[in-house]
Amino acid sequence: MDDAIAVRGLVVDRGRRRVLHGIDATVPRGSVTGLLGPSGSGKTTLMRAIVGVQVISAGTVTVLGAAAGSPPLRHRVGYLTQAPSVYADLTVRENARYFAALHGRDRSEADRAVADVGLASAAGQLVGTLSGGQRSRASLACALVGKPELIVLDEPTVGQDPVLRADLWARFHALAATGTTLLVSSHVMDEAARCDRLLLIREGRLIADDTPAAVRAAAGVDDLDEAFLRLIRASQPDQSGQAR
């Protein structure tokens, strides 16, 4: 019960292709866990399974002690899809207020969520007129507004400037300090160092589930990018000599 997420033997097929090959992973409560891996490695599929919108072939996904996607969890889990999923023909504020209303939160909480992602000055703007980075922050505000216990964020920092990225990571850690659990995917290795724990995934297989320090130690290098490369090679001894 200490784990916010417990994944056991998760297999997902999309069409005839196996996307996840038996994932076992846990995410502790009140932490920021990074889900790292290249594009197409299965990060989004794993996140969709955790929020309960993915059809799974085998295995179990337990979230906050209940089966992933079960109705009581819909009040307790926030999900940010990879593409900004907000209404382009509503203003930032109107979007936040709608998602706030779905979670039974009031207007002031919606306005606070907008301010928290640095969009207070653009709150009255239509989302369709925002830049890509602003639009994804508007989407982020809608994921945070319900004050969920578990927040699943699919690449929340793509396209953000470095200062904003640092702000967002500071906010993620502030949320974790209050007991919220965050699962954050990224394909940028420098973000891995900001996480309390890392899940490294490649071609639908988990190749590491540890703290950044332990990942570095296991690979014997300080640079996480290099460590990830070594772990991949170690997991595929037959291909270790091939250039990729």
Partner 1 sequence: MSPRILAATVARILRQLRHDKRTVALLVAVPTVLLTLIYYMYADQPAPPGQPSTFDRIALVMLGFFPFIIMFLVTSIAMLRERTTGTLERLLTTPLAKTDLLFGYGIAFGLAGAVQAGIASAVAYWVFGLQTAGSSALVIMIAALNAVLAVALGLLCSAFARTEFQAVQFMPVVVAPQLLLCGLFVPRDEMAGWLQAISDVLPLSYAVEALQEVGAHAEPTGTMWRDVAIVAGAAVLALVLAAATLRRRSG
Scan residues 152-211 and list those touching partner 1 (CB under 8 A).
none
- Rounded CA separation 61/213 (Å): 27
Scan residues 85-144 and list those touching partner 1 (CB under 8 A).
85-91, 94, 98-99, 101-104, 126, 142-143
37 binds partner 1 (CB under 8 A): no
User: Interface with partner 1 by CB under 8 A: which range of 7-15, 168-176, 185-193, 213-221?
Assistant: 7-15
- Rounded CA separation 231/238 (Å): 13
Pick the binder of partner 1 from 27, 32, 51, 140 (CB under 8 A). Answer: 51
Pick the binder of partner 1 from 31, 41, 81, 157 (CB under 8 A). Answer: 81
- Rounded CA separation 112/199 (Å): 31
Of 17, 46, 2, 31, nearest in space to 205 by CA: 46
- Rounded CA separation 145/1 (Å): 25
- Rounded CA separation 159/143 (Å): 18
69 binds partner 1 (CB under 8 A): yes
**Which letter does DSSP use for residue 236 in this model?**
-
Which C-beta is closer to partner 1: that of 11 or that of 193? Answer: 11
**Which letter does DSSP use for residue 148 in this model?**
-
User: Interface with partner 1 by CB under 8 A: which range of 30-38, 45-53, 162-170, 227-235?
Assistant: 45-53
17 binds partner 1 (CB under 8 A): no
Taking the CA of residue 38 as centre, how many other CA atoms within 13 Å lie in the half-sphere pointing to its CB? 8
Interface with partner 1 by CB under 8 A: which residues? 13-15, 48, 51-55, 69, 71, 74-75, 77, 79, 81, 83-91, 94, 98-99, 101-104, 126, 142-143, 146
